[in-house]
Structure 1
Amino acid sequence: MLEELAKDDEKMDGNHTDANQIIKDRRRQEEHYFKLYGRIEIHEWLLKDSVRIKAYREAIQHNEFFRHKTVLDVGCGMGVLSMFAAKAGSKRVLAVEAATISEFAQQVVQDNEFGRVIQVIQGKVEDIELPDGIKKVDIIVCDWMGSCLFSGNMLESLLFARDKWLSATGHIYPDTAQLYLAAIKGRDQDLGFWHDVHGFDLSAIRRRCESKAVVEHVTGDQMMSRVCLVKSLDLYTEPRQSAKSRSLFELKVSRNGWVHGLVAYFDVGFSKSTQRISFSTSPSAPWTHWNQTVFYLETPLPVRAGECIKGVLTMKPSEDSIFDTEFDIFVNFDGREKSVTIHQSFVLSDPLTLC
């Protein structure tokens, strides 16, 4: 009996140690992530995205709903969206930022004479409390979208803030999103190189490359199928852990040729803006810093117009990194020239942290 109890104690100690290690690993990941997002170059890159900035400015700056309201800006960066809200007549703007860029945001707010309206709060939104006894806010503004919509896990922070602080009649900007999938032609990944490098087998590198989803610029002329909606979000009702989902897709081929991969992109909407502002990261739309996310297939598909590529897309937050997203893609293609069944797993990292 004593031996069994001792074994149980060892198991409990082991589980406790594992839990502590996970917490330490996540803290290190957060520190690294927020250090990277403290770099001015990253925020300069975001501010140069004219599609992004124009949509937020039009949705906020001339919106009467902002007048005399209390606004929470989740992940404020340099504070530009907070200043849009202040210019729209908000009485109070709480700009929350965990990265050290918050120090620049504070100076920018002062330099533009918004210090009486905007209060910059450094910290994770999950860890802070609102000042001056504020219990609820009227509006949440957040640039929460990552590559393939969910990379970076910022949506979870927004939903946390929504559940804790948004009033029952409050608004979120932006508040709708749709994730789409399509087939594309593109480059064959030149991964055969890794089989023989100066006489050595480096195929382990090939396997690593094959498992990475690629964020790159895709053009409209690469599209080989109609698009398929795989995920739709309403941020007023969306539950936590939205990145975990499973979707069936059918991609009807639009022309003859080769399909080298699947591309994911998203649209975002501001339904509470005066003119229902929206923008798209489609390959056919103007460029944004999000580009598109490509899942290169291990076997290119010879396709003809009218054929259908069917499959399942499963995604979830990474178990190894709190800011990565994992995908499983099953493809079933029964074409006139070739029938293929493919199962591949991918990991998508936030490309801005790799700059």
Structure 2
Amino acid sequence: YNVYGFDMSCIRKVAIKEPLVDSVDNRQVMTSHCLLKEFDLKTVRVEDLSFTANFTLDATRNDYIHALVAYFTVEFSKCHKYCGFSTGPDAPYTHWKQTLFYFDHDDEDIMLHKGDKITGKLNLRPNPKNDRDLDFDIDFIAQGQQTQTKYRGEYRMH
């Protein structure tokens, strides 16, 4: 937790609760992708934007996992020609980048082997005190060959 010679460990717990918007190199992604929610922009209602989604991710190689990465894909399906884009790590760069949810895991890092599964759920809702902020709860179990790790994280995006 050394940043230019300063011990920043005292703010780690606070800093890790805020998702980080940054570019992720696709070579760093070590699981499959999973659709969390699909919206029809013609029919979506404000109350649809708060949701809980289950997910399952498969490890594609042996590696440590430190965060979950979220992004969105837009498709305008009523056009004569395809019109859309993705903000995913495997797509060309956009200014929206990706959103990283780093784990606040005090124990050991989470090691996955190819074929291991992460199953969990993500809950998203506006913050009750400031509806411009978003609150996320992420719960998952990483089922490894030798270990099982449970994780629960609460995040607030400003």
What residue number does 1:228 align with? 34
> Does residue 1:219 correspond to 2:25, yes or no?
yes
Amino acid at match of 1:252: D
> Does residue 1:209 correspond to 2:18, yes or no?
no
Change beyond 3 A, Cα 1:254–1:272: same
CA distance in 1, matches of 2:8, 2:29: 29
What residue number does 2:112 align with? 303
What residue number does 1:288 align with? 94
| 1:296-353 CA-partner distances (Å, limit 9, x unpaired) | 012331010001011110000112322211100001112124321111100112xxxx
Matches within 5 A, 1:75-154: none
Q: TM-score, normalised by structure 1?
A: 0.41
Match of 2:145 among 310, 329, 336: 336
> Does residue 1:324 correspond to 2:130, yes or no?
no
Matched residue count: 152
| 1:160-204 CA-partner distances (Å, limit 9, x unpaired) | xxxxxxxxxxxxxxxxxxxxxxxxxxxxxx389344xxxxxxx3x
Give 1:206 shift: 2.2
SS at match of 2:92: coil
Amino acid at match of 1:305: K
SS at match of 2:125: strand
Q: CA RMSD in A?
A: 1.7
Give 1:219 shift: 1.1
CA distance in 1, matches of 2:93, 2:20: 16
CA distance in 2, matches of 1:191, 1:258: 21
> Does residue 1:270 correspond to 2:76, yes or no?
yes
CA distance in 1, matches of 2:14, 2:49: 23
SS at match of 1:221: helix
Which runs of no fewer than 5 residues in structure 2 stay unpaired? none
Which runs of no fewer than 5 residues in structure 1 stay unpaired? 1-189, 196-202, 350-355
Higher relative helix content? 1
Change beyond 3 A, Cα 1:191–1:262: farther
CA distance in 1, matches of 2:8, 2:39: 40
Amino acid at match of 1:346: Y
SS at match of 2:15: helix
Higher relative contact order (CA 8 A, sep 6+): 2
Higher relative strand content? 2
Structure 1 stretch displaced more, 236-245 or 281-290: 236-245
SS at match of 2:27: helix
Larger radius of gyration: 1
Q: TM-score, normalised by structure 2?
A: 0.89
Amino acid at match of 1:218: V
What residue number does 1:238 align with? 44
**1:301·1:338 contact (CA, 8 Å) conserved in 2?**
no
Matches within 5 A, 1:161-176: none
